[in-house]
């Protein structure tokens, strides 16, 4: 019941966001209509960082309490984080090409996002390549903590190395643009929560199937 209510809210927010982004928000004077992708790009980036923060917190909780539910949340959130980061890395260049003339620059935010993407791909890989599931969960939790701590350091070191990303636009935004951005962020956050809930229940079902299969194998040993 709660899920359906949340789904309805998310759907409504997304429809409103689409309207705001494409119709309500004024056309930006220097970049024109291509600027509209900014509302999605920033919202998705925000959600990606939120997802990794969730991974960080759940990793600590898992190593501390050893309750499997924290690992389930962490793994689902990490998968979503990788998905959303991939979207950021795709929408970014789509915007960059008409706006700056280049697909990519090695400036702090882009490079830090790319590094973040790599670390969380590694998170997913270490789970698949682990010898057993519980070990994979532990290794992933350690990586989740180390990787998140690393993010500000990566950002800082690249920032000292080069600067190219457009400065923070939020302070410059007119109210209509700010409203559009906030609604977009809200819509994507609700989307993230919905996907997370779905993903967690999927993982739980997989675990149950595995348990049932093991029970079945134990009770009905196949005669070779």
Partner 1 sequence: MKDYVKIIAIVWKDIISEIRSKEIGGSVLVFCLLVVVIFNFAFQSDEAAIGLVAPGILWVSFTFAGVLGLNHIFAAEKENSCLEGLMLCPVERHVIYWGKLIGSLIFMLVVEAIITPIFLALYNLPILLPGLALIIVLATLGFVSVGTLFSAMAANTRAREIMLPVLFLPIVIPVIIAAVKATGLILDGEPWGELWTWLQIIIAFDVIFLVISALVFEFVIEE
Residue 122 within binding range of partner 1, rule CB under 8 A: yes
**105 forms part of the interface with partner 1 (CB under 8 A):** no
Contact status: 126 vs partner 1 (CB under 8 A): yes
Q: Cα(21)–Cα(25) distance, rounded to whole angstroms? A: 6
Query: Contact, 81 vs 55, CB < 8 A?
Result: yes
Q: Is 65 in the site for partner 1 (CB under 8 A)?
A: no
Site for partner 1 contains 119 (CB under 8 A): yes
Residue of 130, 178, 196, 200 interacting with partner 1 (CB under 8 A): 130
- 100 versus 155: smaller Cβ distance to partner 1: 155
Site for partner 1 in 189-208 (CB under 8 A): none
Nearer to partner 1, 5 or 160 (CB): 160
Is the sign of the CA dihedral 199, 67, 122, 184 positive or negative? positive
Whether 39 and 180 have beta carbons less than 8 Å apart is answered as yes
Helices 133-161 and 68-100 pack at an angle, to 10 degrees, of: 30
Q: Does 143 bind partner 1 (CB under 8 A)?
A: yes
Q: Coil, helix or strand for 121?
A: helix
DSSP assignment of 32-86, as one string? BGGGGHHHHHHHHHHHHHHHHHHHHHHHHHHHHH--HHHHHHHHHHHHHHHHHHH
Q: Pick one of 100, 150, 186, 194: the residue that binds partner 1 (CB under 8 A).
A: 150
Identified binder of partner 1 from the candidate list 102, 153, 170, 207, rule CB under 8 A: 153
Q: What CA–CA distance (Å, rounded) separates 94 from 136?
A: 36
Query: For partner 1, which is the closer residue by CB, 35 or 85?
Result: 85
100 or 139: whose CB is closer to partner 1? 139
Q: Give the footprint of partner 1 on this chain (CB under 8 A).
A: 63, 115, 118-119, 121-122, 125-126, 129-131, 135-136, 138-139, 141-143, 145-147, 149-150, 153-154, 156-158, 160-161
């Amino acid at each position: 019941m709660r899920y359906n209510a949340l789904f309805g809210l998310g759907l409504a927010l997304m429809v409103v966001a689409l309207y705001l982004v494409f119709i309500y928000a004024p056309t930006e004077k220097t970049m024109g209509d291509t600027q509209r992708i900014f509302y999605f790009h920033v919202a998705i980036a925000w959600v990606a960082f939120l997802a990794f923060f969730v991974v960080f917190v759940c990793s600590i909780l898992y190593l501390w309490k050893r309750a499997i539910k924290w690992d389930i949340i962490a793994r689902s959130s990490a998968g979503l984080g990788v998905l959303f980061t991939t979207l950021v890395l795709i929408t970014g260049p789509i915007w960059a090409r008409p706006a700056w003339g280049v697909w990519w620059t090695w400036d702090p935010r882009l490079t830090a996002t790319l590094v973040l993407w790599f670390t969380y791909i590694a998170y997913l890989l270490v789970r698949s390549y682990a010898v057993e599931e519980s070990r994979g969960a532990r290794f992933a939790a350690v990586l989740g903590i180390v990787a998140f701590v690393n993010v500000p350091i990566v950002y800082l070191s690249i920032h000292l190395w080069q600067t190219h990303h457009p400065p923070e636009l939020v302070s410059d935004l007119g109210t209509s643009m700010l409203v559009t951005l906030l609604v977009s962020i809200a819509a994507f956050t609700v989307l993230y929560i919905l996907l997370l809930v779905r993903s967690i229940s999927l993982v739980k079902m997989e675990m149950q199937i595995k348990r049932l299969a093991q029970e079945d194998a134990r009770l009905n040993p196949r005669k070779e």
